Structure 1
């Protein structure tokens, strides 16, 4: 579903992403973890085309990641949600449906807005939404076209506890439907229960890429580590 080969992103002489390679299979939920400045968001933005990569190749569904064909495969939920100030919540859904050519979208839109308790906010303008509500609208818009691949960059930031719980349940449902999900997050416990695999970044490089259990056995401290302990063990300064 996603193949990243020798991806590099430079800012001047600094490598924000330093020659990384990985792939995601269909139906896989992968957590992308790392401390601030590790390169997680930069990696995602390069994949979805918001940043121009310095080197490397990225394919989505067998297509170059910048092609129209590739863009039909995925949705991206950024860390900072963007909404249109002068569109209502419902008009956001309508706009996405028209942009992606989604037919009979209204029932699905109603279902998503209800899941995130936005059904009474349908006529509210984007400029009047709180950050948490903007994040919910962003998630609903991303899910409406029923993409095969979803990129979530810090999806839990700004969400209330009920919305976080619903998002975790949603991840499991999407996985059961065979969707592929890449979740970048600082909130380690938010991915521990849903991720098939964890990729840990540090200084622009991937220093761990395996199941949680396999990474624990590879860590110096051996058994008995929580995911948080494992993360701190692998990312500590030498």
Structure 2
């Protein structure tokens, strides 16, 4: 479970996010939507531990700042950042050592093959395209077998086949009880994935819907009705 309680972030006197609370249960896919400047990126970076904030973020009931929480939390940023001098495989090996994860079942090779990186595993980080870097970033996050995982615009830069594989992966994670929060402006890409939707505007959650609430309503219609029609 991912739980945020009364999260507030200020930059000087400016309030970027004000008193935001949300929960994504185990085995659910939450999607975070909002127009430009809504505060979505601030929420994402706060969950990932990249920003200081007031309030609380819990990963499986553990404060997100604690090591125990970080060990079960995966994060795929919008802009992947790899080490220039490490190969694709060495990135995954580094994650294994950092998170004390074993590879006895050759899960690393499974991931490399799944995202078509096997023949790229000896390439250095600075030799990869953005799409390839995104795939490596996804594999690194999956390598720790997280209980909670955050995807920030994960489909940007991916080719259609990789997008299809990522969707399949997200459904498998969900079916295995993993909690997923996915931030995106590509509404068409997540229509069949989401369970709960949070819509942000002007630093606050202005709408929350479950699949049951939405019924026959289209996700685009819900978003545009609340925000006035602007995606990021």
Question: TM-score band (shorter)?
Answer: over 0.9
Measure how far apart 1:104 and its partner are.
2.3
- Deviation for aligned residue 1:130: 0.6
Do 2:24 and 2:196's aligned partners in 1 also have CA atoms closer than 8 Å? no
Alpha-carbon distance in 2 for matches of 1:7, 1:126: 35
Alignment match of 1:228 (pick from 208, 220, 223): 220
Aligned equivalent of 2:23: 23
Q: Distance in 1 between matches of 2:60 and 2:186?
A: 29
1:6 and 1:56 in contact (8 A); partners too: yes
CA distance in 1, matches of 2:209, 2:24: 12
1:155-199 CA distance string (max 9 Å, x none): 001101111111111111111111110000000111110111111
Larger RCO (CA within 8 A; separation ≥ 6): 2
Measure how far apart 1:78 and its partner are. 0.4
Task: Give the corresponding residue for 1:104.
Answer: 103
Structure 1 position 64, deviation (Å):
1.4
Cα shift at 1:213: 4.7
Q: Please state if 1:122 is matched with 2:121.
A: yes
How far off is 1:212 after superposition? Answer: 3.9
- Cα separation, 1, equivalents of 2:51 and 2:113: 33
Check the 8 A contact 2:72/2:144 in 1, yes or no.
no
Shift in Å at residue 15 of structure 1? 1.4
How many residues in Structure 1 have an aligned counterpart in Structure 2? 229
Are the aligned partners of 1:97 and 1:105 in contact in 2 as well (CA < 8 Å)? Answer: no
Correspondence 1:69-218 to 2 at 5 A: 69-104=68-103, 107-215=106-214
Give the superposed CA RMSD: 1.5
CA-CA distance at 1:226 after TM superposition: 2.1
Deviations 1:118-139 (A, max 9, x none): 1100100000111111000000
Structure 2: how far apart are the matches of 1:61 and 1:69?
10
TM-score by length of 1: 0.92
For 1:199-232, what per-residue CA distance to the aligned partner results, in whole angstroms no more than 9, with x for missing partners? 111111111112145147xxxxxxx642112211
The 8 Å contact of residues 212 and 227 in structure 1, kept in 2 or not, is answered as: no
- Poorly superposed stretches of 4+, deviation over 4 Å: none
- Checking the alignment, whether the CA contact within 8 Å between 2:87 and 2:124 is kept in structure 1 is yes
SS of 1:120 mapped into structure 2: helix
1-structure distance, mates of 2:105, 2:113: 12
User: Given the alignment of the two structures, is residue 35 of structure 1 paired with residue 27 of structure 2, yes or no?
Assistant: no
Distance in 2 between residues matched to 1:210 and 1:233, nearest whole Å: 13
